[in-house]
Amino acid sequence: MTRAGDGLLVTGTDTGVGKTVVAALLCRARPEATYVKPVQTGLAEGPADAEVVARLAGVATRQGPGFDEALAPAVAAARAGRVVRRAALLQPFGGLDVVVGEGAGGLLVELGTDGTTLADLAADLNLALVVVARPGLGTLNHTRLTCEAAWARGLRVTGIVVNRYPEHPGVVERTNLDGLAAFAPLLTVIPELPILKPPLPELPWPAR
């Protein structure tokens, strides 16, 4: 498996918050990293996240089990008549020196049909978490729930990335930045821009 501390796992407060873009930016900060998606759903609807990261960051990628339907992984696996256990989710991480892993949905979404979550993988791999959050109303609660679920399991949250920050933020967005930074490091704020094309914003590798 990966050596302790040699990487990060990217999770989010929900699905669709921009975890893949953040994972790509982290990979750009460490070009020697390998991007790992332990399970992928929604393959029938577009490119796999590993393909997107390879295009944006130019790094090596690995992917675990994949499913066509855009559903929670355990649900997609069950509907496909497949069994996905923790060993299959951990396998793509094997032998890597530096890794950026990305979950599916939030921290406690079941990635495997045995109930394995990204929190379980973080504990098994001894990797810290980067939490991707939205800027708007509700994000303080959603982000704190994610962080406290991680802390309750003895996991380290290395920081929060706020994605799709509006060009003209209102009082909600402005005050949310202070609220988020009060309970976990705020790594960066990514603007609401068409950033899937170069040049991409920079996201420094978080300090340990």
**Which positions are annotated as active-site residues?**
37
Write out the DSSP string of 7-50. Answer: EEEEEESSTTS-HHHHHHHHHHHSTT-EEEES-B--GGGS--HH
Question: Is 105:14 a contact under the CB 8 Å cutoff?
Answer: yes
Helix, strand, or coil here: 145?
helix
In angstroms, the Cα distances linking 131 to 47, 58, 123, 197 are 23, 23, 16, 23
